[in-house]
């Protein structure tokens, strides 16, 4: 009849292709065309029936109205929420944790991953990084050095999701070591560097990855050599502190001008607003306690300057980065509920003012501690290595786990979604080959929002 059929295999389905033979007679062309259309309609009907069976059958993906359920079973589970399980199960549905525990009833049709002999932890969170902003020692996107006060800058405008420089796989490398979220911050070249963001390490664009923005305002105390070389303020530590105070007071004046304008507008609709000022608008986020403040410090005097500023202007929350001399004022930090983000501990131990066991020292004195990489200073895949060093020098493993999971989540104001394996939280978790702080062990599988984003090549498969 002048019609030929060939079969193409595509994802297990047989798709029929219709071809018209060049040998058929011209007088039969209309008949052949009609027959071809009928066959095409018939086979299309069969194909749709086949797809329908795949949607509702046990061996195919579930319909969109029924989100896939997954259970990871048989593993030791560290929840970072106080309750751990030796042979536990995590039940996940629609990207959220449905249940965690032992002897959990697994619903029929659930996809099961057997993880006997493995360890499961929450996804790791880096509380302070410069991920995607450029390589250490090279040209980076984290410091706008044209002005020492730049609160209006937004770090999300500098992040490249695939990384920059020679390491094009910064995000993938971090995920492969169990890091599922990171707080990405401006650098410390300026007194006020700009606004930070919390990213989940999946997605093609920063907009897809961004979980929270702005997360906080990044500041940095101490001397600013780059500006001193220009003969420009700040040339001293007191100049640095002055610029913070000046920015806060200017924001307060701007707020007053906006309030006066609103009052005047009620009397006179033609009243003109004050000129828009993006710097002062950004500082209003701090003044109005809408976002916390995160300050880079090193010495004890800079630490106490940060505490004074927080009290003076009523910061919503104060956290400190590095804070190598925090042990000298640990009691003051605990009393003022200051969070210290410790690290990285792989640069040098030569400075007599550094304590190798700083994380443990502060933790034992009631200071909430997070551990960071400061990536790209230390590569982000070494986050758990930083925590392992804290354990080596005295920190309890459970405390070290919390320092890279729930504590950073709390610092970011996301403890209701991240940082621990609990019912209702995002299904961000890592399956490890063994003990978390044994650096010989590896991440086998990493999940973000219940989706597998990394599988160790040693496991094989797709």
Dist. CA 272–CA 264, nearest whole Å = 9
Helices (H), 230-382: 237-267, 278-287, 300-313, 330-335, 358-364
137 and 32 in a common domain:
no
CATH number, domain of 447, equals 2.30.40.10
Q: Are 183 and 341 in contact (CB under 8 A)?
A: no
Where do we find the tokens 């929002």?
Answer: 449
Supply the pTM of this predicted model.
Answer: 0.83
Question: Among 402, 418, 434, which residue terminates a domain?
Answer: 418
329 and 365 in a common domain:
yes
- Residue 71 backbone dihedrals phi, psi, to 5 degrees: -130, 130
433 and 407 in a common domain:
no
- Domain around 141: 124-418
Q: Is residue 62 part of a domain?
A: no
189 and 291 in a common domain:
yes
CATH number, domain of 182, equals 3.20.20.140
Q: Is residue 395 part of a domain?
A: yes
Q: How many domains does the chain have?
A: 3
Dist. CA 199–CA 130, nearest whole Å = 11
pLDDT in tens, the chain (462 residues): 443 333 222 223 232 233 333 444 444 444 454 454 444 444 443 333 332 222 223 333 333 445 689 999 999 999 999 999 999 999 999 999 999 999 999 999 999 999 999 999 999 999 999 998 875 445 578 899 999 999 999 999 999 887 655 556 788 889 999 999 999 999 999 999 999 999 999 998 999 999 999 999 999 999 898 998 999 999 999 999 999 999 999 999 999 999 999 999 999 999 999 999 999 999 999 999 999 999 999 999 999 999 999 999 999 999 999 999 999 999 999 999 999 999 987 544 445 557 889 999 999 999 999 999 998 766 767 899 999 999 999 999 999 999 999 999 999 999 999 999 999 999 999 999 999 999 999 999 999 999 999 999 998 765
Q: Is residue 13 part of a domain?
A: yes
402 and 334 in a common domain:
yes
């Amino acid at each position: 009849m002048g019609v030929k059929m060939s079969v193409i295999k595509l994802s297990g389905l047989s798709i029929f292709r219709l071809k018209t033979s060049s040998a058929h007679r011209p007088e039969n062309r209309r008949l052949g065309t009609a027959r071809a259309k009928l066959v095409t309609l018939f086979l299309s009907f069969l194909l749709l029936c086949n797809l329908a069976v795949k949607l509702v059958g046990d061996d195919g993906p579930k319909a969109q109205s029924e989100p896939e359920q997954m259970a990871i079973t048989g593993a030791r589970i560290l929840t970072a929420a106080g309750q751990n399980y030796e042979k536990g199960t995590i039940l996940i549905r629609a990207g959220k944790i449905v249940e965690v525990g032992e002897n959990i009833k697994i619903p029929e049709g659930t996809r099961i991953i057997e993880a006997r002999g493995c360890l499961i932890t929450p996804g790791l969170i880096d509380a302070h990084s410069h991920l995607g902003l450029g390589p250490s020692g090279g040209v980076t996107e984290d410091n706008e050095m044209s002005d020492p006060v730049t609160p209006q800058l937004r770090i999300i405008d500098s992040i490249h999701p695939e990384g920059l420089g020679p390491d094009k796989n910064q995000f993938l490398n971090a995920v492969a070591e169990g890091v599922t979220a990171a707080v990405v911050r401006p650098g410390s070249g300026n007194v006020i560097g700009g606004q930070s963001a919390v990213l989940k390490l999946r997605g093609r664009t920063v907009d897809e990855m961004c979980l929270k923005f702005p997360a906080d305002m990044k500041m940095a105390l101490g001397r600013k050599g780059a500006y001193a070389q220009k003969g420009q303020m700040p040339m001293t530590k007191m100049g640095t502190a002055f610029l913070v105070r000046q920015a806060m007071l200017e924001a307060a004046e701007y707020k007053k001008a906006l309030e006066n304008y609103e009052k005047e507008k009620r009397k006179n609709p033609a009243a003109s607003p004050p000129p828009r000022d993006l710097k002062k608008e950004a500082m209003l986020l701090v003044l109005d306690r809408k976002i916390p403040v995160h300050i880079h410090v090193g010495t004890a005097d800079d630490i106490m300057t940060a505490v004074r500023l927080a009290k003076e202007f009523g910061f919503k929350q104060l956290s400190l980065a590095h804070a190598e001399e925090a042990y000298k004022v640990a009691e003051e930090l605990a009393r003022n509920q200051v969070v210290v983000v410790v690290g990285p501990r792989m640069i040098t131990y030569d400075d007599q003012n550094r304590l190798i066991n700083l994380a443990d020292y502060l933790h034992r004195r009631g200071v909430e501690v997070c551990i960071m990489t400061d990536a790209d200073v230390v590569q982000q895949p070494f986050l758990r290595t930083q925590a392992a060093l804290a354990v080596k020098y005295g920190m309890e493993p459970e405390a070290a786990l919390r320092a890279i999971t729930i504590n950073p989540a709390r610092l970011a104001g996301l403890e209701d979604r991240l940082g621990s394996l609990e019912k209702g939280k995002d299904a961000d978790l890592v399956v490890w080959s063994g003990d978390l702080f044994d650096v010989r062990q590896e991440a086998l599988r990493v999940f973000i929002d219940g989706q597998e984003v990394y599988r160790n090549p040693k496991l094989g498969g797709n």
